[in-house]
């Protein structure tokens, strides 16, 4: 089956620093990737849609200058949390959609636990 990886799985950083999270589709090409955020005991909330070769589309309330998304290739999207603060601590999950036009299925990465101290 389709596999999506995320790196790192856990990261602890100091307030004010930036952190980059990678999302890779390992055995398929993904023209679209999504970034979600999951708060403790809460559901997943969509942050942004990442399209290869174009700017990401952010959901209302998500600061695009704070959460930088780059979809540089058909197998890689990165999320950079800039000037991180403790309130950015969360579980970040990406998903990837195969490039087949008829596919609606998303494949999820294992998530990245970010802790900002």
Partner 1 sequence: AQSVSQHNHHVILSEAASLELGCNYSYGGTVNLFWYVQYPGQHLQLLLKYFSGDPLVKGIKGFEAEFIKSKFSFNLRKPSVQWSDTAEYFCAVTPNMGRRALTFGSGTRLQVQP
User: Per CB under 8 A, which of residues 37..96 are in contact with partner 1?
Assistant: 41-46, 49, 93, 95
Contact range with partner 1 by CB under 8 A, out of 16-24, 67-75, 76-84, 106-114: 106-114
The values of phi and psi at residue 28, to 5°, are -155, 160
Non-local CB neighbours of 2 within 8 Å, separated by 6+ positions: 25, 27, 28, 96, 98, 107
Closer residue to partner 1 (CB): 42 or 85:
42
Q: How far is the CB of 111 from partner 1 (least distance, A)?
A: 6
Task: Note the residues at the interface with partner 1 (CB under 8 A).
Answer: 31-32, 34, 36, 41-46, 49, 93, 95, 97, 103-106, 108-111
């Amino acid at each position: 089956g389709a596999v999506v990886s995320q790196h790192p799985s856990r990261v602890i950083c100091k307030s004010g620093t930036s952190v980059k999270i990678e999302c890779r589709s390992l055995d398929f090409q993904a023209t679209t990737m999504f970034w979600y955020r999951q708060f403790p005991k809460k559901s997943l909330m969509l942050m942004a849609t990442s399209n290869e070769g174009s700017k990401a589309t952010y959901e209302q309330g998500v600061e695009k200058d704070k959460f930088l998304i780059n979809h540089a290739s058909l197998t890689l999207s990165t999320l950079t949390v800039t000037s991180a603060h403790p309130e950015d601590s969360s579980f970040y999950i990406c998903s990837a959609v195969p490039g087949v036009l008829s596919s609606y299925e998303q494949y999820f990465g294992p998530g990245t636990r970010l802790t900002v101290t």
